[in-house]
Structure 1
Amino acid sequence: MPFETLKPQVKSIVLNTKKTVDERLLAICELLETHIDYYNWVGFYFRNGSKEELKLGPYVGAPTDHTIIPFGKGICGQVAVSNQNFVVPDVTAQDNYIACSITVKAEIVIPIFVNGENIGQIDIDSNTPNPFTEADERFLEFVCKEVATLF
């Protein structure tokens, strides 16, 4: 399903105040994982209070042991420090990669900003080598801007 058709669905999920924030975040994960073939694990990480670490939030996909990630460690931890999108076409080429599953070939992480502060990120793993394009980045930036309105 093309990104443009998913945007109104993301907005609708975010605006559904009958659900908790975590329920809405999970619904976004489910929407993306279901409708984008090469999104095999979709989840959110958020800053863990005032600590220099990320805590796993809602996600869909294989269970992960990485529920806490120190800033600077792995792709997610690097994004927490750099405040920049990070697209990894081939996870085996990354020295600072934290392997979640042997099936993962690529990863994309986009930060979420509230009032200019990086509060978390969306993390997507793919079992397809080099699947992410600039269109994925722009779409996921849109998703993160929508998610930011929940905080």
Structure 2
Amino acid sequence: MAEDLAIAKGSKTAQYEALLPQIKALITGEPDLVANLANIAGALREQFNWFWVGFYLVKEDELVLGPFQGPVACTRIRKGKGVCGSSWAQAQTLIVPDVEKFPGHIACSSLSRSEIVVPIIRNGTVMGVLDVDSADLDTFDEVDRRFLEEVAGWIEF
């Protein structure tokens, strides 16, 4: 089924409040994980025009690239490495205002300047992460954390 996304204007909160019901509608009733992750990444990137939005999924002892929107990305990330691997290891959302100042940052693209990574946790286990990069410094804040954690909570494995 083809969907049209209604792009909202206004504050960041207003944009999320308009977007999240649309994301929920896109994934409700669709059992395929890849399809849902792809639509979530596409909707977030289209609304906010971020540099990169995507998912890494835990497979054995590393994160493996999943559906994303943006330029090509790192394919595999070890636990505890970079922002994504650190979010996985700590099982918590990480907001990085300046990736150059993050110890051990993995530069999949030199154009990425700030980042938020949200772990997707089911039954106490991190199953993957939602990774969002911006070409601008200090893009992400507690508003992003709140809404992106809500979206991550909807993902069914």
TM-score past 0.5 threshold: yes
Say whether residues 1:75 and 2:83 are aligned partners: yes
Say whether residues 1:121 and 2:129 are aligned partners: yes
- Secondary structure of 2:119's partner? strand
Match of 2:67 in 1: 58
Say whether residues 1:6 and 2:14 are aligned partners: no
Q: 1:112 aligns with which of 104, 112, 120?
A: 120
Equivalent residues of 1:16, 1:24 under 8 A apart: no
Amino acid aligned to 1:103: L
Match of 2:12 in 1: none
Q: Give the number of the structure with larger relative contact order, counting CA–CA contacts within 8 Å between residues 6 or more apart.
A: 1
User: Over residues 44-95 of structure 1, what are the superposed CA-to-partner deviations in whole Å (9 max), with x where a residue is unaligned?
Assistant: 01110xx22111110010011x111110111111111100110000011112
User: Over residues 72-128 of structure 1, what are the superposed CA-to-partner deviations in whole Å (9 max), with x where a residue is unaligned?
Assistant: 111111111100110000011112100011111101000001122111110001001
Match of 2:11 in 1: none
- Secondary structure of 1:56's partner? strand
Aligned equivalents of 2:55 and 2:26: distance in 1? 15
- Structure 1: 4+ residue segments shifted above 3 A: none
Match of 1:35 in 2: 47
Aligned equivalents of 1:35 and 1:81: distance in 2? 29
Question: Which stretches in structure 1 are left out of the alignment for 5+ residues?
Answer: none
- Secondary structure of 2:105's partner? coil
Match of 2:3 in 1: none
Please, what TM-score do these two structures have when normalized by structure 2? 0.88
- Secondary structure of 2:149's partner? helix
Question: Taking every aligned residue pair, what percent have the same amino acid on both sides?
Answer: 38
- Secondary structure of 1:107's partner? strand
RMSD of the alignment, in Å? 1.1
Please, what TM-score do these two structures have when normalized by structure 1? 0.91
